């Protein structure tokens, strides 16, 4: 029980509906976390990894029917369909609850209902928000211990205040006494992840996995929080936050929005190659930003841990992430070594001689199949990252000096481009895109627009979301707003090879961004924005030929003009909700491009 009458009444009401065998209020203690690990071991959900190799860590395999976010069953249940917009699945809230209530009735029979009070952000921070998740999954309890601040200390701060309500069930009741459980209970046939923006509610049924079940993450911190941010005048964004310090000890903070497969976590934990420069991590996935009394935007990482994609992560690609997951980590859907350690594709240059894959099958290099699921995950405390910034838990947040937008583009988009204004930067964020590869459905090289990397996560009409960004800029002192940039590490030459080496060398681009914010970096005006002036990008010791640098920084007028019809088609989805400011920016871009083309 708590001191919050609304919370107590809601927990009682949900327990009556779900019919668990017991109700347990989570206190957030290390003993409670260890109990959850023990419960998972006893039920066959988890395998304890070797203490000498991965201290205090477990390995979990999910059901093959429950391996990722289920976007097709994710709904925004706003009162008005128009408020959900064209990029979300919408359901009427009353009709949705009429569907969900029978599913949740009796869904926790034979199980325990855990009450998890959690704070997204440092407890007591003016930027943080509190939620409460009810769940019947020990995996969720343990993961929420890592991903959020949880327990009694959150209730103490909540008092009689408001909170986001999250109800979650794996949807697998144990109807009869003695009925055997499964190692990964879920409902393979029926899944719903439903968000009720007006009432700040989340109802998740049938999945025990990741963003479907850890309701503080994408559900609260982005879909519900984006609506809270719209209503209250702040920003809830799918962005990393890093601190960059120059050799003189001056530190600035950068946020960055990238779609999946564009290196967000790698950038957040970057090891710079420029001598004397240092990069530290604030967060790798989500940023909440509010104006401070001084008129600047301040950001917190609302999360407490990393829930990262494992395959492709290695000491070469992300040294600091690999160090962060050496202990106290939950691994899901990786491969298991004979000596009870984990492995996944690209973790080492040479795979082990034998493994058990994520589907429990024996594996050798001759098997001809992947060992880990492509969405295999690690869940580890952020405090274990070797380059975590000392300010990462500062309740007032860190002052954001620059925001980057970026996608995976083989052509057209240059390495780095500074926006001409906040409105122009909002325009660049609104047309963010990546090109599909041969592994994706559809034509190779086709554009997939993902505005602000928020396509799956914006809890309301994206046209209104663009308008919110413009309003944020309009009410602020332009001199105190972060500078906005577009970046692209993935441009390729005619031979199909990357022109820019990426990884740690991206620190050279961050250095130029730092210098632009500081007023020392030189730039040249182009039709698309401001690019590094000749010699202003630090290339010392970098073996990239001048011809490649010319290409990676080239503004191809004809290619940009050829892309405008796709941008217009993208904008048409938002109808009369598309802000006039973005229409103006598109028209201005076209005019600048045509003028430049006429001079060539």
Q: Which two tokens stand for residue 304?
A: 């407490």
334 is catalytic: no
Alpha helix locations (H) across 333-455?
Answer: 422-430
Q: Which two tokens stand for residue 126?
A: 């003016």
CB-based contact 224:202 (threshold 8 Å):
yes
CB-based contact 408:447 (threshold 8 Å):
no
Nearest CA to 440 among 486, 408, 417, 403?
408
CB-based contact 347:341 (threshold 8 Å):
no
What is the spatial distance between Cα 35 and Cα 31, in angstroms, rounded to a whole number?
6
CB-based contact 289:255 (threshold 8 Å):
yes
In the set 186, 262, 334, 458, the catalytic residue is: 262
Query: DSSP labels for 147-181?
Result: HSEESHHHHHHHTT---EEEEEE-S----STTPPP
What is the spatial distance between Cα 19 and Cα 182, in angstroms, rounded to a whole number?
19
CB-based contact 76:88 (threshold 8 Å):
yes
Nearest CA to 314 among 337, 275, 347, 356?
347
Residue 172 CA: distances (Å) to CA of 78, 207, 220: 28, 10, 24
What is the spatial distance between Cα 50 and Cα 58, in angstroms, rounded to a whole number?
9
b/e map 65-82, b = 16+ CB within 10 Å: ebbbbbeebbbbbbeeee
Task: Kindly give the pairing relationship between strand 287-291 and strand 235-237.
Answer: antiparallel
Q: Which two tokens stand for residue 24?
A: 């347990």
Which residues have a catalytic role annotated? 262
């Amino acid at each position: 029980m708590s001191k919050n009458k609304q919370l107590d009444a809601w927990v009682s009401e949900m327990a009556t509906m779900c019919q668990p065998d017991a109700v347990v209020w989570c206190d957030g203690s290390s003993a409670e976390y260890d109990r959850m690990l023990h419960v998972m071991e006893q039920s066959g959900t988890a395998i304890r990894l070797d203490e000498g190799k991965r201290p205090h860590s477990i390995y979990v395999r999910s059901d093959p029917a429950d391996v990722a976010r289920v976007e097709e069953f994710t709904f925004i249940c706003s009162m008005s369909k128009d408020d959900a917009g064209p990029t979300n699945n919408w359901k009427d809230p009353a009709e949705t609850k009429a569907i969900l209530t029978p599913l949740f009735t009796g869904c926790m029979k034979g199980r325990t209902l855990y009450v998890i009070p959690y704070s997204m952000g440092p407890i007591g921070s003016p930027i943080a928000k509190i939620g409460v998740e009810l769940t019947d999954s020990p995996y969720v309890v343990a993961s929420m211990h890592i991903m959020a601040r949880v327990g009694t200390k959150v209730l103490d701060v909540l008092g009689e205040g408001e909170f986001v309500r999250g109800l979650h069930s794996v949807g697998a009741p144990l109807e009869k006494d003695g009925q055997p459980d499964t190692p990964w209970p879920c409902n393979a046939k029926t899944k719903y992840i439903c968000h009720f923006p007006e009432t700040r509610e989340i109802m998740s049924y049938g999945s025990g996995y990741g963003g479907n079940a850890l309701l503080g993450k994408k559900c609260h911190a982005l879909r519900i929080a984006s609506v809270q941010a719209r209503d209250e005048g702040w920003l809830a964004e799918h962005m990393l936050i890093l601190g960059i310090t120059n050799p003189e000890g001056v530190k600035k903070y950068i946020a960055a929005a990238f779609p999946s497969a564009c290196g967000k976590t790698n950038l957040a934990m970057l090891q710079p190659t420029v001598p004397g420069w240092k990069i530290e991590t604030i967060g790798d996935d989500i940023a909440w930003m509010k104006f401070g009394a001084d008129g600047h935007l301040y950001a917190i990482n609302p999360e407490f841990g990393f829930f990262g994609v494992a395959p492709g992560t290695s000491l070469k690609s992300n040294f600091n992430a690999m160090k962060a997951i050496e202990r106290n980590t939950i691994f899901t859907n990786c491969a298991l070594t004979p000596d009870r350690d984990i492995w996944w594709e690209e973790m080492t240059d040479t795979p082990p001689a034998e493994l058990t894959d994520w589907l429990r099958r024996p594996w050798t290099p001759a098997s001809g199949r992947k060992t880990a699921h492509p969405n295999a995950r690690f869940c580890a405390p952020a405090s274990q990252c070797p380059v975590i910034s000392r300010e990462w838990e500062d309740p007032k947040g860190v002052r954001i000096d620059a925001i980057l937008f970026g996608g995976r583009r083989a052509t057209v988009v240059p390495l780095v481009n500074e926006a001409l204004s906040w409105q122009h930067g909002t325009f660049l964020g609104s047309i963010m895109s990546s090109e599909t590869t041969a592994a994706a459905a559809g034509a190779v090289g086709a554009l997939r627009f993902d505005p602000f990397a928020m396509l799956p996560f914006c809890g309301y009409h994206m046209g209104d979301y663009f308008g919110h960004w413009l309003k944020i800029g309009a009410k602020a002192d332009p001199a105190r707003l972060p500078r906005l940039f577009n970046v692209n590490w993935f441009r390729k030459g005619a031979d199909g090879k990357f022109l820019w080496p990426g990884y740690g060398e991206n620190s050279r681009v961050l250095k130029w961004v730092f210098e632009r914010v500081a007023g020392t970096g030189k730039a040249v005006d182009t039709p698309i924005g401001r690019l590094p002036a000749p010699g202003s990008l630090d290339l010392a010791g970098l073996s990239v030929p001048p011809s490649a640098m010319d290409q990676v920084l080239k503004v191809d007028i004809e290619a940009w003009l050829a892309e405008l019809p796709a941008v217009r088609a993208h904008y048409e989805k938002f109808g009369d909700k598309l802000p006039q400011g973005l229409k103006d920016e598109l028209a201005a871009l076209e005019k600048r491009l045509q003028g430049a083309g006429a001079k060539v």
